[in-house]
A and B are shown apart, each in its own frame.
Chain A
Amino acid sequence: MNNIDALKELLYKMADDQLILGHRNSEWNGLGPILEEDIAFSSMAQDKMGQSEHLYNLLNQLGEADADTVAFTRNAPQFHCSHLVELPIGGYDFSLIRHFLFDFAEYLRFEALKTSAYQPLAQVAKKFFGEVKYHTMHANTWVYQLGHGNEESNSKMQESLNFAWNYALGMFEPGPAEEMLINENIFIGEEALQAKWLEVVIPLLEKSNLVIPEQSSWAPIYGGRIGNHTAHLQPLLSEMTEVYSIDPSADW
């Protein structure tokens, strides 16, 4: 694996996470708990898909197929998304916890990438940093509200956190050639990113009256980055690509 392949691996996993979570979160469109939240959550889902398009365009510049082809013609084993983003939306408690855990990771990833030696990626990170910052504000405000709401809201959030935690740790599955990216100051690497993430999310979750799962139970769920996925991904892809597979030139 040369450094271009290592860079592509980084771009693919970021873009695939955004695309799949964007699609997942868009499933709440029209079903959100109140009108304002419905609009906010749907907007953020759009943001995620927009971000993925920019990263697919960077991949296109590195010789990969164009964004639509890459997004709509691959099957599950060709995707590099983490298991966390594939899981069904569940209840709003789970979708919010996933949103919280994912978006703080993305925020810190973008923050690190703002100074990446690979300029096109640094530019994308700078461009979307504010967008992702709002996503973390939204996530943290909600988690705080429900963590402090009542016994029912707190216990639902706690159960979702317990369920999501090892999936969330799976976001930081080490890449096969990360040393190259680290040595060339392109990316800080998943291990360093996870350390930053733990430093940020643990105090925030504790402030929200939630308990971090016992460290002895931490067992990251890996596999997504190398194409091993949950059974939930392929049905999502089939639904997402329904129009494209009927008419690849369809426009709207």
Chain B
Amino acid sequence: MATEDQTAIESLDPRIGRAHLSGGNHEDMTGLLHFQTYEVFHQNKRGAQHKHVGIVHAPNSDMALLYAKEQFARREQTANIWVAPSSCIAATEYADDDIFTTTPEKLYRNPATYKVMDRIQAFKERGMTPSDEA
């Protein structure tokens, strides 16, 4: 653990002068070990999907929500925010990213290539019968 640098910080900024800051010790993070990261999900209007927008550091979910509001909802329209501990996220391994290699080639999975309008139209004209619901 590094020792604290006792040299006072001098600054033209009066706020820094008032704070009587020493040089600090930015290596010593032990005091922050109870902090964890939270993933933040932002919803711009009710009913829309929440989208992942980043992370905040916080000791618990209440504090994480406070920070998520100011970090990620300070400019845009917002209806709702979720936070979840990063430790709750399960993820694929980058080492296994070959499982995705061929998917961009599968153009037939692109909705633009579906030819279903004729079938939908025929279905609508026929009308739904009880047997369709079974």
The chain A residues found within 8 Å of chain B, CB to CB, are: 27-31, 34-37, 39-40, 43, 88-89, 134, 137-138, 141-142, 144-145, 239
Q: Nearest-CB distance from B49 to chain A (Å)?
A: 23
CB of A36 within 8 A of CB of B15, answer no
Quick check: A134 and B63 within 8 Å, CB to CB? no
Contacts A/B (CB < 8 Å), 10 sampled: A31-B21, A34-B57, A35-B57, A36-B58, A36-B67, A36-B70, A39-B71, A40-B67, A144-B62, A145-B63
B14 on the A face (CB < 8 A): yes
**B35 contact set on A, CB distance < 8 A:** 34
8 Å CB contact of A36 from B13, B18, B19, B56: B56
Q: In the complex the two chains form, is B70's CB within 8 Å of A31's CB?
A: no
Inter-chain contacts of A137 with B (CB < 8 A):
66
User: A-contacting residues of B (Cβ < 8 Å)?
Assistant: 13-16, 18-19, 21, 32, 35, 56-60, 62-63, 66-67, 69-71, 74
Cβ B69 vs Cβ A134 within 8 A:
yes
CA separation between A35 and B71, bound complex, in Å?
Answer: 10
Q: What residue in chain A is nearest B63 (Cβ atoms)?
A: A141
- Minimum CB distance partner of A31 in chain B: B19
Q: Which of A34, A36, A39, A137 has the most CB of B within 10 A?
A: A36
